[in-house]
Structure 1
């Protein structure tokens, strides 16, 4: 029996710093309703979807900073789906019966993370939580010019501590030939690092869900190189985004649904689109056409993962883990000495 699913990358356009959550939620729920009309089973939303991508700003006021996070503590049952700010979104996904992955700033009451959850459309339960491992950027801002696109994730978040753990999306078992899909999660910069993908490949993962916010032009972020044009910067950002997703989907024989925040935030911060669905052979089978709110939809058959998993990238048959010790022994580059 074919193991077919209808999946969507739910791209979200510009969200400004002063955009109310209520307005964002209205847009997100519209995407859910449009997905339901097209019989989508799983929708993947971007990184920090409920707010603008606030790590680009140098924020010193604690009340302002905390407003971008969702609190997860005992007062709300310890679960993002019960957060008063965003509960309506998860309630609607359950009513429509659509599984969702969505990213947000997580505040545990003691620690803060860049987080994504996978929530069952069948029961409304969180099936898995992932915290971004590879935080880019700096702790201190490049400068204090409010127009500068900073990258301050290391200032506002702790590195993820939940690892790369695949899980079964039991909510999709009946739809998917009686065998629950094996899902993995990544967030933005994680997609550039091969290690996470391989961890998922070693668990037989069939679908990676990945949300992102990727700048299209930020010279100070790239070391102050003012010579690069906006057009060239956009072209390079799109190229590298597609390169890593297509390559790692191929080398781990899995589908990837990757969804971006895009457009021009606050008239200052351009983000690439590039939301897409990639198959286990590394081909883009569906891709966004705008920089606005947009559903990118494809029907996929998880049996298409088998060719790579059983032949070209049969990890149990062809890997040589005894040769890979350096991958975990060395945290950085160790250059061979001159003879």
Structure 2
């Protein structure tokens, strides 16, 4: 299979889980109707981005894997005959929770999962309160549409994560995301942040000679309790090719972004840009240090 059509469901989320999930399902069906064999959903897509504050009752939202979401989206994957990348708040054990991406195969089964490795702790993004860092490593998930290098949001800023996924055989890098602006930032600062976000991910495509798929939510979400400015999620979901070329890109509103990639281009690009061949693996020992004093 040389050509692969990918659908990215970019949407706003509300506190009404049923309504939010219903619109997600509508987006998946729209992507399937457009010929998608792989559909990627945004980070924590079943409700609002709850990490703007620290509140222990939010842990009640977490679910097991397998659980309600994997059953629902697994049945949809089976009905439509496509692979779906979901993103869930995982309850692993009492007091142990993860930000977890789950990949559902065309037959509805769980092909694999990835637990977010890099956990931020910034104003409006208090994820360390909720999520234990992942312990599954950087392992691609093998599916009928290829080996998927699934990472999550904050992971997208780290070239080490992209490289390790690539070295393990990932055929594309996939980033479910929830990132937005502080509404108090001026337009110039917002533009710098957005373009940095796009640039770092396109650079992973170039450095590794592999497609990159990134899907982000949209819409303004107020801070619970009014204790903050809230977040305006900027969307701009996109798919880039193995030379960083922009194949398809969304805007700042709800939409289903469709992109077609040529899976054979990775081989062609790596023959002319053999970065993996020329890596000086004998000289990189210091990369495992926090900082060289």
What TM-score do the two structures reach when normalised by structure 1?
Answer: 0.80
* Pairwise CA RMSD: 1.8
Note the 1:297-308 alignment, pairs <5 A.
Answer: 297-308=258-269
The CA distance in 2 between the partners of 1:205 and 1:311, in whole Å, is 19
Residue aligned with 2:24, SS: helix
- Answer whether contact 2:153 2:177 (CA < 8 A) is retained: yes
Matched, 1:113 2:94: no
Following superposition, the deviation at residue 218 of structure 1 comes to: 6.2
2:259 is equivalent to residue 311 of structure 1: no
C-alpha deviation, 1:184, in angstroms: 0.4
Larger-Rg structure: 1
Mapping of 1:107-256 within 5 angstroms?
107-110=91-94, 111-121=96-106, 123-137=107-121, 150-169=124-143, 171-172=144-145, 181-217=146-182, 228-229=185-186, 231-256=187-212
Given the alignment, which residue of 72, 76, 91 partners 1:88?
Answer: 72
More strand by share: 2
SS of structure 1 residue aligned to 2:175: strand
- The alignment of Structure 1 onto Structure 2 pairs a total of residues equal to 286
Check the 8 A contact 2:113/2:141 in 1, yes or no: no
Cα distance in 2 for partners of 1:84, 1:278 equals 32
Contact 1:216/1:233, CA 8 A, preserved across alignment: no
Runs (5+) with no aligned partner, structure 1: 73-78, 139-148, 173-180, 220-227
Tell me, in whole angstroms, the C-alpha distance in 2 between the residues paired with 1:240 and 1:84: 36
- Native 8 Å contact 1:183 1:205 kept in 2: yes
Q: For each residue in 1:264-310, what CA deviation from the matched residue of structure 2 results, as whole angstroms up to 9, or x when unmatched?
A: 11383211111001000101110013422x11111111101112323
Q: Deviations over 1:46-73 (max 9, x none)?
A: 11111211111221xx4x312321123x
Aligned partners of 2:180 and 2:233 also within 8 Å: yes
Measured in 1, the distance between the counterparts of 2:5 and 2:136 equals: 28
